[in-house]
């Protein structure tokens, strides 16, 4: 089957040879169970055996402590962290990615570490940290900028034995991009024996670093092994790229997380698209291992198997979340499987050992090339089961009606006039190509929850379209052409902003030229840095951004073209939302779905959240866009925030009925965690807001049943 590459010798040898089973660090008693790893465990189940909070008493939950991470910097500040709890201590990160430790029962701060005070670049968001049992009470591994820090779990002080002064540079061992400032690891890796295995985020334009997966020695910080996601000459998959592509191409990185089968010694990594995101004419071929689920030997980094979910990605269809390890019974056979959610709204299910699909996957013909010189894959893989958990295309018939306001429908029809729509995988075009789901999915980085008791996988998803419109790249070499190649995809062709980046048309009135140049060079938050560009080029780009109306600055001739040679560039991310930030399509706008993995069927699907201003007009049960994932417990409950309405909810995991909800200080765009201290179960969520136009927040809130427990 196309896309499935199995190194049979490695699989057989690696799985029948002598594998040391790493002992579990989880306490035997469920009453003392803690959330010791990102998303609950190495299998990323999002699940807990705790059952003190139940369907019968969940209504008694109340806040027991809050932790304020400090003043908010900027209107887009977020907290995406899923905290961990080890030995009664909660470890998390602030909106500026500063790791901290709290007493998990009281919320009292024990320590906080500022990486930027020790020379690290700032990092705009972070999804958590890693605990290693290690020496002297353990270690915490936390990323900031290009650095991975190892901190003493008791004190928060850097461990000088790890790398240099307690940190390693995450650009170590990369083929190129060593000068880039956008290599980092905002999603935690995983500890296996005496290594930490992790992927990285990289840039999404030409010149970005490659997304190699690496393992580092936990005792020294030395690079133990590296897997080339853009294959080097002679490696499997190199034929899916132009010759020597590994020397200059970037992306194909695993930014969304790592899943580990500790007993088998297999690590699974989902990857993103190759760069640049929306033009692939100069990277013909399927482009392995972009957009793939990789299974690697955790000791050596050797490939065991892979499956590519998108061939030659032109749509930014990164695999958005770590996969889930599941075990199912099907046709009288017990299968240790792995599930992968996607932005497209598909769920892929594989045998986790062999990589064989549990349900047939069909290669179906898709839309051909539109732009001259573009290379488009002739087919794409479609799983035959389970069915998609989102709608699969946008056309004029799916635009909402005038209950959103007089003339709403007609105005949105006019907005889409002339655009290409109505099917999957329409390549980007000059007219504009409508994607549904849009750029973020579908499923997103919050991930799915697996409940072994019910056999259900729970995934929250967005229902909003996006439009990718291309434009001819300027023939001349000038600051505006450089801006269009590197900045317009996020900030818009006219600096007007998009759904990803804010408007910067007036940035020259708010920032000095030095401040603008510094941000262009070093980046910040989601913005990559362009420190690799020569200083004179950065100075001219700064002058253009500071005053885009000055034609002399915009069109001044540059001595050389440091950017892309692509004939087309993207005009920017365009999300199909109305003026109030609501998707223009008919509801639901966001959903929570329970999938029976063994049967390959959807058990139930419900809207997730409500936009408050629509609810005031009587439009309820519509759902909202959502970011952050669910967790599921043995108490019969599923907890999730994620929605735009600043609400944390509990659902009956068997029926999808809401059984409890509470207002948060800000939207909880993060995955919650649950744990027990001294026999009492807690539920904690980062309440950071800062997306979907919602106000930013700065607090973690923990809930529990009042004592004495009923």
271-298 mean pLDDT: 96
**Total number of residues shown for the chain:** 710
Residue at 685 is within a domain: no
What was the pLDDT predicted at 9? 32
Query: Which of 563, 598, 632 is at the close of a domain?
Result: 563
Closest by CA position to 458, among listed 611, 629, 585: 629
Tens digits of per-residue pLDDT, 572-613?
A: 889 999 999 999 999 999 999 999 999 999 999 999 999 999
Beta carbons within 8 Å of 558's beta carbon, 6+ residues apart: 477, 478, 479, 482, 537, 540
The predicted structure's pLDDT at residue 10: 33
Higher pLDDT, 7 or 297: 297
Residue 693 to residues 212, 422, 541, 620, 627: CA-CA distances in angstroms?
Answer: 34, 28, 29, 19, 13
pLDDT score for 180? 64
Weakest-pLDDT range from 18-27, 90-99, 194-203, 366-375: 18-27
Task: State the pLDDT at residue 531.
Answer: 66
518 close to 527: Cβ distance less than 8 angstroms: no
Contact 126, 115 (CB under 8 A): no
What's the average model confidence in pLDDT over 481-501?
77
Task: Tell me how many helices (H) and strands (E) the chain has.
Answer: 9, 40
Q: Identify the band that residue 356 occupies on the pLDDT scale cut at 50, 70 and 90.
A: very high
Note whether residue 494 is domain-resident: yes
User: What is the rounded CA–CA span in Å between residue 97 and residue 112?
Assistant: 11
Phi-psi category of 609—alpha, beta or left, where left has phi over 0 and alpha has psi -120 to 50?
A: left
524 CB contacts (<8 Å, ≥6 apart)? 122, 124
Element (H, E) at 330: strand 324-330
* Whole-number pLDDT of residue 7: 36
Residue 530 forms part of a structural domain: yes
Strand order across the 433-435 sheet: 433-435, 466-468, 574-575
pLDDT for residue 17: 32
Structure tokens at 512: 């000095």
- Domain total of the chain: 2
Do the beta carbons of residue 540 and residue 556 sit within 8 Å? yes
Determine the Cα–Cα distance for residues 6 and 305; give it in Å rounded to an integer.
Answer: 4
pLDDT above 50 for 16: no
Residue 11 scores a pLDDT above 60 = no
Say if CB 111 and CB 100 are below 8 A apart.
yes
pLDDT at res. 88? 97
pLDDT of residue 527: 72
- How confident is the model at residue 2, as a pLDDT? 46
Residue 436: which of 462, 463, 395, 465 has the closest Cα?
Answer: 465
Residue 134 lies in a domain: yes
Render pLDDT for 679-695 as a digit per residue (tens, 0 to 9).
999 999 999 999 998 99
Q: Helix (H, G, I), strand (E, B), or coil: what is residue 89? A: strand
pLDDT > 90 fraction of the chain, expressed in percent and rounded: 75
Q: Is 403 helix (H, G, I), strand (E, B) or coil?
A: helix
DSSP 8-state symbol, 544? H
Give a yes or no: residue 245 inside a domain: no
Residues with Cβ within 8 Å of 505's Cβ and at least 6 positions away in sequence, in order, are 494, 495, 496, 548
pLDDT value at residue 573: 87
Contact status, residue 187 vs residue 256, Cβ threshold 8 Å: yes
d(CA 472, CA 642) in angstroms, rounded, equals: 38
pLDDT for res 544: 83
Which residues have a Cβ under 8 Å from the Cβ of 544 and sit 6 or more positions away?
479, 480, 483, 550, 553, 554
Beta bridge partners of 648: 662
Measure the CA–CA gap between 294 and 303, rounded to whole angstroms: 7
- Select from 538, 563, 588 the last residue of a domain: 563
- Count of other CB atoms within 10 angstroms of residue 330: 15
Burial class (CB in 10 A: 0-12, 13-18, 19+), 557: exposed
Q: Is the pLDDT at 58 greater than 80, yes or no?
A: yes
Q: Does residue 48 come out as left (phi exceeding 0), alpha (psi in the -120 to 50 range) or beta? A: beta
- Output the CA torsion sign for 253, 258, 261, 263: positive
Tokens of 556: 């001044």
Q: What are the CB-based long-range contacts (under 8 Å, 24+) for 130-134?
A: 130/37, 130/38, 130/84, 130/188, 130/189, 130/190, 130/191, 130/196, 131/36, 131/37, 131/84, 131/86, 131/91, 131/191, 132/191, 132/196, 132/218, 133/25, 134/218
DSSP 8-state secondary structure symbol assigned to residue 237:
T
Predicted confidence (pLDDT) at residue 195 exceeds the cutoff of 50: yes
CB burial string 71-100: b at 16+ within 10 A, e below: ebeeebbbbbbbbbbbbebbbbbbbbbbbb
Residue 459's closest CA among 700, 579, 626, 246?
A: 626
Q: Which two tokens stand for residue 128?
A: 């958590």
Output the six-digit token pair for 589.
């706008």
Please state, in angstroms and rounded to a whole number, the distance separating the CA atoms of residues 181 and 202: 9
Structure confidence at residue 536 (pLDDT)? 72
Among 404-413, 481-490, 577-586, name the one with the lowest average pLDDT.
481-490
**By mean pLDDT, which of 1-10, 73-82, 95-104, 499-508 is the weakest?**
1-10
Q: Is the pLDDT of residue 424 over 80?
A: yes
pLDDT at 518: 77
Q: How far apart are CA 584 and CA 686, in angstroms?
A: 29
Mind listing the pLDDT tens digit for each residue in 505-515?
A: 888 888 888 87
Matching residue, tokens 């939207």: 667
Whole-angstrom Cα distance, residue 197 to residue 212?
A: 11
3-class secondary structure, 648: strand
Confidence band for 480, pLDDT divided at 50, 70 and 90:
confident
Instruction: Work out the pLDDT band at 28, boundaries 50, 70, 90.
Output: very low
Kindly give, in sequence order, each residue whose CB lies less than 8 Å from that of residue 10, ignoring residues fewer than 6 positions away: 297, 302, 303, 304
Domain residues for 159? 83-126+128-169
Helices (H), 330-453: 408-415
Mean pLDDT of the region 382-392: 98
**What's residue 353's pLDDT?**
98
In a domain, 97, yes or no: yes
Q: What's the mean pLDDT in 77-95?
A: 96
Last residue of a domain, one of 505, 533, 563: 563
Q: What is the mean pLDDT of the chain?
A: 90
Residue 12 has pLDDT above 60, yes or no: no
**Average pLDDT rounded to a whole number, residues 358-377:** 97
Measured from the Cβ of residue 483, the count of other Cβ atoms closer than 10 Å reads 22
Least confident of 18-32, 144-158, 468-482, 497-511: 18-32
CATH of the domain at 554: 1.10.760.10
Question: Does residue 232 fall inside a structural domain?
Answer: no
Least confident of 20-24, 120-124, 428-432, 596-600: 20-24
CB 79 within 8 A of CB 697: yes
Token pair recorded at residue 266 = 């297999």
Over the stretch 246-261, which tens digit does the pLDDT of each residue have? 999 999 999 999 999 9
pLDDT on residue 18: 31
pTM above 0.85, yes or no: yes
Report the pLDDT value the prediction gives residue 31, as an integer from 0 to 100.
Answer: 66
Rounded Cα–Cα distance for residues 291 and 283 (Å): 15
Angle at CA 289, nearest 5°, toward 205 and 176? Answer: 50
pLDDT digits (tens, 9 = 90+) for 61-85: 999 999 999 988 766 789 999 999 9
The whole-number pLDDT of residue 566 equals 81
Give Dmax over CA atoms of the chain in angstroms.
75
- pLDDT one-digit tens code per residue, 603-658: 999 999 999 999 998 889 999 999 999 999 999 999 999 999 999 999 999 999 99
Between 682 and 708, whose confidence is greater?
682
What pLDDT shows up at residue 533?
73
Residue 544 lies in a domain: yes
Neighbours of 162 (CB within 10 A): 24
Instruction: Give helix 479-486 / helix 535-546 axis angle, nearest 10°.
Output: 90
- The whole-angstrom separation of Cα 99 and Cα 156 is 8
Residue 560 has pLDDT above 80, yes or no: no
Pair 290, 229: CB distance under 8 Å? yes
Contact 410, 452 (CB under 8 A): no
Which range among 125-134, 176-185, 338-347 shows the weakest confidence by mean pLDDT?
Answer: 176-185
For 161, the token pair is 């034995």
* pLDDT tens by residue, 317-332: 999 999 999 999 998 9
> Between vectors from CA 566 to CA 561 and to CA 569, what angle results, nearest 5°?
100
- The domain that holds 157 is classified in CATH as 2.40.10.480
């Amino acid at each position: 089957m196309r896309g499935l590459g199995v190194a049979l010798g490695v699989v057989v040898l690696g799985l029948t040879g002598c594998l040391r089973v790493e002992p579990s660090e989880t306490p035997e008693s469920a009453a003392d169970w803690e959330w010791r790893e990102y998303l609950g465990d190495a299998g990323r189940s999002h699940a807990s055996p705790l059952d003190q909070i139940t369907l019968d008493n969940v209504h008694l939950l109340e806040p027991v402590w809050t932790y304020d991470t400090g003043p908010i910097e900027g209107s887009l500040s977020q907290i995406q962290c899923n905290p961990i709890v080890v030995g009664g201590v909660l470890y998390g990160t602030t909106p500026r990615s500063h790791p901290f430790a709290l007493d998990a029962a009281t919320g009292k701060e024990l320590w906080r570490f500022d990486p930027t005070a020790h020379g690290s670049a700032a990092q705009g968001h972070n999804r958590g940290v890693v605990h290693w049992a290690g020496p002297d009470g353990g270690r915490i591994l936390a990323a900031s900028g290009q650095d991975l820090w190892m901190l003493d779990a008791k004190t928060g002080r850097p461990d000088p034995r790890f790398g240099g002064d307690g940190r390693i540079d995450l650009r170590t061992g990369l083929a190129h991009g060593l000068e880039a400032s956008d290599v980092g690891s905002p999603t935690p890796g995983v500890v296996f024996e005496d290594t930490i295995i992790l992927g990285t985020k990289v840039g999404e334009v030409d010149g970005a670093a490659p997304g190699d997966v690496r393992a580092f020695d936990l005792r020294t910080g030395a690079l133990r092994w590296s897997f080339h996601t853009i294959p080097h000459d002679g490696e499997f998959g190199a034929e899916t790229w132009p010759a020597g592509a590994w020397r200059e191409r970037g992306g194909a990185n695993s930014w969304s997380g790592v899943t580990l089968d500790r007993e088998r010694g297999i690590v699974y990594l989902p990857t993103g698209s190759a760069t640049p995101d929306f033009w692939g004419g100069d990277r013909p071929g399927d482009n392995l291992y972009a957009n793939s689920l990789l299974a690697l030997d955790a000791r050596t980094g050797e490939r065991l198997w892979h499956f590519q979910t998108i061939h030659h990605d032109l749509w930014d269809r990164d695999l958005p979340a770590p996969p889930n390890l599941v075990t199912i019974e099907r046709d009288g056979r017990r299968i240790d499987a792995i599930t992968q959610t996607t932005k497209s709204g598909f769920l892929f299910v594989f045998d986790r050992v062999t990589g064989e699909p549990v349900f047939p996957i069909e290669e179906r013909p898709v839309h051909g090339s539109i732009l001259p010189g573009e290379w488009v894959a002739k087919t794409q893989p479609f799983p035959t089961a389970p069915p998609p958990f989102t709608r699969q295309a946008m056309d004029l018939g799916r635009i909402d009606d005038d209950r959103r306001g007089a003339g709403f429908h007609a105005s949105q029809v006019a907005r889409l006039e002339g655009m290409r729509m109505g099917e999957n995988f329409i390549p980007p075009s000059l007219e504009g190509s409508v994607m549904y789901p849009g750029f973020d999915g579908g499923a997103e980085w919050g991930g799915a929850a697996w409940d072994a008791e019910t056999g259900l996988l729970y995934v929250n998803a967005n229902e909003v379209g996006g439009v990718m419109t291309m434009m001819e790249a300027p023939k001349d070499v000038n600051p505006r052409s450089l801006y269009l190649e590197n900045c317009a995809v996020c900030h818009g062709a006219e600096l007007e902003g998009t759904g990803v980046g804010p408007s910067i048309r007036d940035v020259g009135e708010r920032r000095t030229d030095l401040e603008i140049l510094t941000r262009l060079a070093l980046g910040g938050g989601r913005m990559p840095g362009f420190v690799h560009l020569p200083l004179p080029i950065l100075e001219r780009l700064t002058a253009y951004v500071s005053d885009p109306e000055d034609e002399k600055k915009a069109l001044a001739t540059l001595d050389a073209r440091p950017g892309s040679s692509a004939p087309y560039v993207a005009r920017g991310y365009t999300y199909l939302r109305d003026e109030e930030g609501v998707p223009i399509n008919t509801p639901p706008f966001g959903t929570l779905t329970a999938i029976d993995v063994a049967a390959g069927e959807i058990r139930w699907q419900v809207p997730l959240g409500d936009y408050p201003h629509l609810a005031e007009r009587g439009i309820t049960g519509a759902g909202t866009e959502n970011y952050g994932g669910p967790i599921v417990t043995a108490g019969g409950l599923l907890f999730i925030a994620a929605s735009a309405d600043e609400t944390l909810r509990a659902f009956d995991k068997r029926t999808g009925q809401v059984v409890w909800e509470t207002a948060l200080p800000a939207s909880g765009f993060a995955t919650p965690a649950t744990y027990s201290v001294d026999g009492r179960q807690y539920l904690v969520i980062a309440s950071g807001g800062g997306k979907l136009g919602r106000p930013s927040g700065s607090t973690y809130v923990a809930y529990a049943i009042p004592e004495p427990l009923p």
